[in-house]
Amino acid sequence: MARVFLSLGSNLGDRVANLRLALQKLQALGASTLVSASAVYETEPWGEANREQRFLNLAVEIETTLLPARLLQLLHQIEDDLGRSRRTGQPSSRYGPRTIDIDILLFGSQVISASDALQVPHLSLHERRFVLTPLAEIAPDVEHPVLYRSIRELLNEVEDRREVVPYDLPPRWF
């Protein structure tokens, strides 16, 4: 089984419900087990578009026997099922609002460059506080397989100063 870390985010509609449904669908994936989930954080959007629509973000760890390309395909299906709109070719689609966004951050210690959609480790992982903060909560000592730095070290060194604050949810919210 591969140890995989994912980032989940939502800034459209009922953000908590979107995350809850995505986690439920992740738990229902065949050949995968949800191991842990970070707390939820409210974060400033990345990029310049839609600065007023704050995200809810968290990181999860799963164990899976799925191959990376198949996992990505299933994650895109979850996003589609939850109303994610992919407007390819439009400038706002990269950083625009979305009901759900699920990214593969790390897939064991693999380095994968299969396509624009499948780049592992995630190419911007080390630059984004909203990704590193929840990931450091559940995997502080995991080493980035290209940068050879722990997630904790990357968080301590990140230049991104966008706000990332805990979002108050009851235990077992999903």
CB-CB neighbours of 97 under 10 Å: 17
Domain 2-166 CATH class label: alpha beta
Nearest to 144 by CA among 125, 157, 117, 131: 125
Taking the domains of the chain in order of start, what are their residue ranges?
2-166
Cβ distance 139 to 61 under 8 Å?
yes
Tokens of residue 35, six digits: 């191991």
pLDDT of res. 98: 86
34-50 burial, b at 16+ Cβ within 10 Å, e below that, comes to: beebbbbbbbbbbeeeb
pLDDT tens for the chain, residues 1 to 174:
999 999 999 999 999 999 999 999 999 998 999 999 999 999 988 765 556 689 999 999 999 999 999 999 999 999 999 987 665 544 445 566 789 999 999 999 999 998 888 999 999 999 999 999 999 999 999 999 999 999 999 999 999 999 999 999 988 888
pLDDT at 43: 94
> Which amino acids are annotated catalytic?
84, 98, 101, 103
pLDDT computed for residue 40 by the predictor: 98
- The confidence score (pLDDT) of residue 91 equals 42
Q: How far is CA 163 from CA 57, 88, 129, in A?
A: 12, 28, 8
Structure confidence by residue, pLDDT tens digits, 1-41: 999 999 999 999 999 999 999 999 999 998 999 999 999 99
This prediction has a pTM of 0.92
